[in-house]
Structure 1
Amino acid sequence: MKIYTKAIFFLGITICCTHQINAQKQLYNYVDPMIGSEGVGRVFIGPSCPYGMVKPSPDCTSSPNSGWLPMPKEVTGFSQVHVSGTGGGPKYGNIQIMPFSGALDKMDQTSFRAEENVKLGYYETVFKENNIKTEITTGEKVSFYRFTYPKNTSKELKIDPGFFLGEEKIPDAREAQQFVGSQIEIVSDTEVRGYSRIRGGWNNGRAYTVYFWAVFDQPIAKYVTFKDGKFYNNQKAQFDSGKKTAALLSFGNTGKEELNVKIGISFLSELKAKNNIEIEIPHWDFNTVLSTLENKWENLLSRIKVSEDTSEDYKKMFYTGLYHTMIMPVDRTGENPLWTNDEPYYDDFYTIWDTFRTSSPLITLIDSKRKVDIINAMLNIYKREGYLPEGRSGNDNGRTQGGSNAEVVLADAFVKNLKGIDYELALQAMLKDATVPPGGNEEKEGRGGLMDYLKLGYVPYGTDRAGNRTIDYAYNDYNIAIVAKGLGKMDLYNQYIKQADNWQNLWRSDYENNGAKGFIMPKDKDGNWLDDVVFGESKIQKPTFKYTPVIIESPWYVCHWCVFFYEGNSWEYSLSIPHDVPELIRKSGGEKAFEDRLNTFFNSDLYNVANEPSFLTPCLYHWIGKPYLSSDRIRTIIKNNFNTSREGLPGNDDSGAMSSWLAFHMMGLYPNAGQPYYLINTPLIKETIMQLENGKKFKISAKKMSDKNKYIKAAFLNGKAYNKAWILHDDINNGGELVLEMDSKPSAWGTTIFPPKK
């Protein structure tokens, strides 16, 4: 009997240990959606499928971009559509629901959280006032809620299609969403349907409509509907008359305490929203929905595995970085209200100015088939609407921040040989951006100031964002040249490779600042450099401010969008020439002067880790043969700015831009987007293994790496000595192993063969 008992005991231990080992292997457990949720990160904290259309989450008032704010801020309700990591005015926050207990006599059911639990695919909170517990998970197009009410209390629920984020008292306030209409109908004792129609938001977009179909696992016992400030008994429907509508439902105080709610969302119709439920979640098993979501993420996250001895914090930072990268853009295939076809449709490019540098290349590396779908969706938008998206949300293009950076995404796919893309069509779309002014829609799409750019070779001061537009357009022209050359169109190549030098037309070679010489500076349409710039709208007094490479113009002199450089200054942008670093070095006075310039930039706090145009800058030491200095900068930046806390991101995550920057550097790679190579730096993780979609694997190993041994002494690619501090995408895609031998001091590795030239 004792032997039998011991056998059972040891069997139990074995099963328990096996379970723990299996649990450790689930990479989604390392994802912490709360990293970057506070401070400036603004990430979405609720459950989401990869690129999921539906993103349910609490709304803590109508102000925050992602809906959520930390405790003790109140919760207004839970809406079904959100974005992640964005700045500017909020977007979405549609179809809000809220559990409560009590009379059906008021719309405001605001509550405060007593506790909160967040993990990948799951959100939970308990309200202080009524002790109601809310749990949320989701499918691709269907939210799933499980509300648990205290025993012997009535179960009520508000459904409010009139709510949205970013509402302002001033009609047509810039970047504010505006109410257009809503509708609600109680279809049966277990179903409610309706829609919300909203316009505006960050991209000042046209009206979009979010349709819903809600189903309950308990019958409605009592209800009132709401319209324009009044409640109506025994009226099951409130039609759209341009006034806010809603419904308050009671499920009584008998039966089980648990109320399950599924909310199907569609951008086409209420019946399509219902169909989404029937196809995606036909059952009432909350845990099955959660498990399905976890498995989707596990499949993607497991495509890059890190060594077992990687610290817990680094695993969290890395896998959360991958996770944030694949929340947006949003897959709305089959939900396009603008045209009909079977092609992929994606929305919420928020924006490509933010994401082309790191998010887009990381998706190419992890999920290349998805990247092909995303690019084909971009081309489909071009075919139907005339321009590629630079930003897009609510099924409408907008806003442009600098260049027409879809060109970089298309060129990046081309040089990395992604199959299934019509590159002739892609070139046509790129040329449309480069040759046809958008006719008053410069905020929405295309290239603002295009005619001056083509005539003068630069965008003159007076056109919004003239400085970074000139720089971006030059790089976009380089992207066009590369695709044209690859397609055998040498006349186009020769034209656009010449235009790729246009950034030099704003390079003021004699201007000195902080010991550095030569900067991108404002010039008027007559070719005059501008030292003192007039601001304001007065016709009589014309005050001026002195333009220097360190000045930030907004909001003191001009509006946020009216600056010479968008969200940056000349020190930052004068180092942001990703296609022609050798010429930048020459213009800066040579390698020694350039090294001094970089050191001044970082040591004098001129570097802004949160600003995308500076993403490549820590790697620029590669072009002067000192990649070890790039690695030193990157390690310091990560140590000082990134961590696993709720403030663990140093800037707006911008649809995964910040997170993907971190993930790349933790692997020891960094893409120069639109070009076929990655720069090699000292990784933070000793070993990463990429499972490529072509069935091959690529492994990066840093031998004997430690806090002391942080410099690459030698490298070997597939067993052969490798002396370049960069590697081609094809070398990774072909599979194999890159071994980095580490040492305590810099070596001659990577100092002689520089990255490819223009």
Structure 2
Amino acid sequence: MSRNILLIVFLSLTTVVHAQLWRSVNPLIGSEGEGRVFVGPAAPFGMVKPGPDCLTMPNAGWAPRPEMVKGFSQTHVSGTGGGQKYGNVLIQPFRRYESMTPQRVLLPDGKVGVVPCFLHHRTYEKVTLGKYSCRFEDGIGVDITTSARCALYRFRHADGLLVDAASFLGMDTIPNKRETQQYVASSISVSGQKEVSGSTTVRGGWNNGGPYTVFFCLQSSAPFVKSRLFGGRAASVWWGDSIVEVKVGISYVSVEQARRNIVAHDFNTQLRQLRQQWDETLARVPYEGNSRERRIFYTALYHTLLMPVDKTGECPRWSGTPYYDDFYALWDTYRTSMPLLMEYYPERATDIVLALLAIYRHEGYMPDARSGDCNGRTQGGTHADVVIAEAYSRGLKGIDYREALPAMLKDGDVPPADDEKEGRGGLREYIRLGYVPYGIPRAGTRTVEYSYDDWCIAQVAKGLGKHAIYNRYMRRSRSWQNLWRKDYEWRGMKGFILPRDARGRWLDSVEWGRSRIYRPKIAYRPDTKVAPWYIPWWDTFFYEGLSAEYSLSVPHDVPTLIQLCGGDSAFRRRLDTFFDEGHYNVGNEPSFLTPYLYSYIGRSDLSSRRVAEIVHRCFSDKADGLPGNDDSGAMSAWLLWAMLGRYPVAGQGKYITIDPVRFPEKAATSDNATSMVHFVLNRQYRNWPLSTRWQGDTLVVTCHDCTYRMPRRVVDHAQGFCWESPQKAGARYDAEGTFLFISRDALDSLQRTGSFVYDGITWRRVDGNGQRIHVRADVDGTEMWISTIGSLPWVTRMQGNRLGIDWQMDDC
């Protein structure tokens, strides 16, 4: 009897603990810095993600105070880089209508009109799982919660609401500007005394997708006492109550469907249901740890479960099958978050795979990325192939793999009409040459990843008894070796994946930039991004990584990689050098597997050590606690696996085990500047140690006999900051376009002729002496001061930079 009582008590306590898992989630972790996670309320894989949109228009809408809030839109993504997407159907509460700011906008009839805009400073803000709250300087209070397809608001002390049907993130008046969203059409109407409905059609954004339409239906708990329409774009409504609840149903099919998506219950009931749903969802992945560990772990799991988005029943083109959108992108998520879903949420993973196959049936290709119901953009390979191979290796049920194989073969055999949208770019050359040659964008990444994708296709074909297909694709899976330059030595390591042209020649130097006027060549090294700041990763040989990283990224053929590197001992030395010299970058996905590679030579202890070092250096429970874009939860899922003590080798249905990474209850104290060495500067300069400290809003970096002062804004923009010497004919920029060095050839031209040209921009001498030269750019008047002391032409000061980022180096 007593045992039964104890068992009942234990089960009750367990239920209480699980019911409170939502309290272990802090949605603000990863919201600042590079993480870019969505902070508003969201349901698991929810279609609606309501939250604040700030004037700076970050990808996820939110920015920390004191940035001003423009309003609250209903659709967002989480953790993404590149251009914005969504931010549709903006609502703006107002206290005094006359406080509005007139905003000139494009109306549906093509004319320019004026729509009111209400901007607010937040005096209070609180973010918890399922609920966002803030208070504005004029006394308006806002609470937000949500269901999967309906946002719920509670406004206090607001006189009314502006509903802007045509607002979205990343608005730009330049037609077809890359990665920006473009207005197509909108409609809006006020029905009766409590409803506003309409639609908005937008195109573009990060994936350069075609038009997508968001339908909405807004219902108010209080009757409108007055309303006003602004063409087909916006409407203002006034009410007389001091506390008003507003529900906004969203649909991608029709206004009627948006109306049906509105939940029947009130704000508090929906909040309780949402948190209960998250408790049940989070409890599927059990984890024991101290309070800080649980906060980090369950926040990471929460972020992993925000995308892709479940739009079943909301596809505007077909119905009858599970449908998911916002694969943003499989290039990121196939490595970590998709295996996590297959392990702990297999029914959800099955539906996602069925959605990929439905997209193939109706549109011709499975996506590598997709948003706004449009495929695109492909980044490297066709990684739906890896996802299906992972599902097959796990025996995931409910999937017709005989239907899946033709979809995979379409990726591997048929060149697409638009390889930015889907399929494989450079596929003809890859099949003919056995590699993608230099000159085709992302040729190195594509070769490596096509090889992996082909291996995954081969495994599914083998399992289905398709031996001819298996043999053909296994041969192709070795294509990465055709870019392995076995005689190339660098930093004591021999053999790298390096550029090769279509004639089979290895390229020791490549052009830097694409200017028609000035196209210097630089020596190609395994640690060099061969492009200036204005060339995106899309156009480089490797995507979001360098040769040193991709030369260790062959997950399907690690034994061959070890052999080519010289055996177990040489492979360990290579890994040690890679990590000890700071070439590892957890902030982007190509190196996710690398610290686990020690396990392939029987040294899982070293994998454990490296992973723990990375986690403790780069992750935390702070707002800037992610080292890179969360990328739809891919980064968070990498952290989850480290804390669970295993890592999935995607497409193979197996794990590498390590010691689980633990966090102390209390974070160790450290100087902010010390962390900046890791997050911003990332390495030493010419083997000189960097010491850093903050003086107010200025980061002071001391290096050898120089002191370098960077305002906080420079630090915030300086991702990818590089402190290494340029090659003889090269130059270095940071990620946002600020010179750090100029080339020696440019300095020679400046000293001889009084000017130099780079990428079509002419820089002319203003004045100077034997130690420092002052120059100015013709195009925008930006000024630089270049030190001529020593062999390296340092830029010691920049002023009038077009980004507003000025800085200077003192005491050199």
TM-score (norm 2): 0.77
CA change 1:251–1:421 in 2 (3 A) is same
Q: Could you tell me whether the CA contact under 8 Å between 1:193 and 1:270 is conserved in 2? A: yes
Which of 449, 454, 460 does residue 477 from structure 1 map onto? 454
Aligned to 1:418: 396
Residue deviations 1:15-67 (CA, integer Å, cap 9, x gap): 9xx99993685111101100000000000000100000000000012620000
Aligned to 1:274: 259
CA change 1:87–1:536 in 2 (3 A) is closer
Aligned to 2:773: none
Cα drift, residue 669 of structure 1: 1.1
Residue deviations 1:334-363 (CA, integer Å, cap 9, x gap): 000012x31000000000000000010011
Residue deviations 1:369-399 (CA, integer Å, cap 9, x gap): 0000000000000000000010000000000
Cα drift, residue 541 of structure 1: 6.4
Aligned to 1:302: 283
Q: SS state of the match for residue 567, structure 1? A: coil
Aligned to 1:313: 292
Aligned to 1:64: 58
Cα distance in 2 for residues equivalent to 1:419 and 1:21? 30
Q: SS state of the match for residue 305, structure 1? A: coil
Q: Could you tell me whether the CA contact under 8 Å between 1:468 and 1:564 is conserved in 2? A: yes
Q: Could you tell me whether the CA contact under 8 Å between 2:451 and 2:478 is conserved in 1? A: yes
Q: Could you tell me whether the CA contact under 8 Å between 2:512 and 2:532 is conserved in 1? A: no
CA change 1:538–1:627 in 2 (3 A) is closer
Cα distance in 2 for residues equivalent to 1:424 and 1:403? 22
Q: Could you tell me whether the CA contact under 8 Å between 1:306 and 1:685 is conserved in 2? A: no
Aligned to 2:176: 172
CA change 1:558–1:38 in 2 (3 A) is closer
Q: SS state of the match for residue 76, structure 1? A: strand
CA change 1:189–1:651 in 2 (3 A) is same
Instruction: State the structure with bigger RCO (CA 8 A, min sep 6), 1 or 2.
Output: 1
Relative to structure 2, which stretch is displaced further, 551-560 or 180-189? 551-560
Aligned to 1:206: 210
Letter in 2 for 1:372: T
Structure 2 segments unaligned to the other structure (5+ residues): 1-8, 103-115, 664-812
Aligned to 1:122: 131
Cα distance in 2 for residues equivalent to 1:684 and 1:546? 40
Aligned to 2:361: 383
The CA RMSD measured in Å over matched residues stands at 1.7
Aligned to 2:695: none
Letter in 1 for 2:326: D
Cα drift, residue 171 of structure 1: 2.0
Residue deviations 1:306-344 (CA, integer Å, cap 9, x gap): 23xx211110111111111110000000000012x3100
Aligned to 2:637: 660
Aligned to 2:565: 588
Cα distance in 2 for residues equivalent to 1:497 and 1:373? 29
Aligned to 1:690: none
Aligned to 2:693: none
Q: SS state of the match for residue 645, structure 1? A: coil
Cα distance in 2 for residues equivalent to 1:304 and 1:329? 19
Which of 431, 440, 452 does residue 429 from structure 2 map onto? 452
Q: Are 2:196 and 1:192 equivalent residues in the alignment?
A: yes
Q: Could you tell me whether the CA contact under 8 Å between 1:114 and 1:127 is conserved in 2? A: yes
Q: SS state of the match for residue 582, structure 2? A: coil
Cα distance in 1 for residues equivalent to 2:237 and 2:287? 49
Cα drift, residue 685 of structure 1: 5.6
Aligned to 2:331: 353
Q: SS state of the match for residue 89, structure 1? A: coil
Q: Are 2:605 and 1:628 equivalent residues in the alignment?
A: yes
Q: Could you tell me whether the CA contact under 8 Å between 1:212 and 1:273 is conserved in 2? A: yes
Cα distance in 1 for residues equivalent to 2:48 and 2:87? 11
Q: How does 1:254-653 map to 2 (within 5 A)?
A: 256-277=241-262, 281-283=263-265, 285-307=266-288, 310-339=289-318, 341-439=319-417, 441-537=418-514, 543-556=520-533, 558-653=535-630
Cα drift, residue 535 of structure 1: 4.4
Letter in 2 for 1:399: R
Cα drift, residue 365 of structure 1: 1.2
TM-score (norm 1): 0.82
Cα distance in 2 for residues equivalent to 1:541 and 1:380? 48
Which of 150, 154, 163 does residue 142 from structure 1 map onto? 150
Cα drift, residue 560 of structure 1: 3.0
CA change 1:556–1:93 in 2 (3 A) is closer
Cα drift, residue 529 of structure 1: 0.3
CA change 1:108–1:643 in 2 (3 A) is same
Q: Are 2:219 and 1:215 equivalent residues in the alignment?
A: yes
Structure 1 segments unaligned to the other structure (5+ residues): 1-14, 228-237, 239-244, 687-758
Residue deviations 1:559-593 (CA, integer Å, cap 9, x gap): 43110000110001100000011111111111111
Percent of counterpart pairs with the same letter? 51
Q: Could you tell me whether the CA contact under 8 Å between 2:510 and 2:530 is conserved in 1? A: no
Cα distance in 2 for residues equivalent to 1:125 and 1:136? 9
Aligned to 2:239: 251
Q: Could you tell me whether the CA contact under 8 Å between 2:70 and 2:118 is conserved in 1? A: yes
Give the count of matched residue pairs: 638
Q: SS state of the match for residue 116, structure 1? A: strand
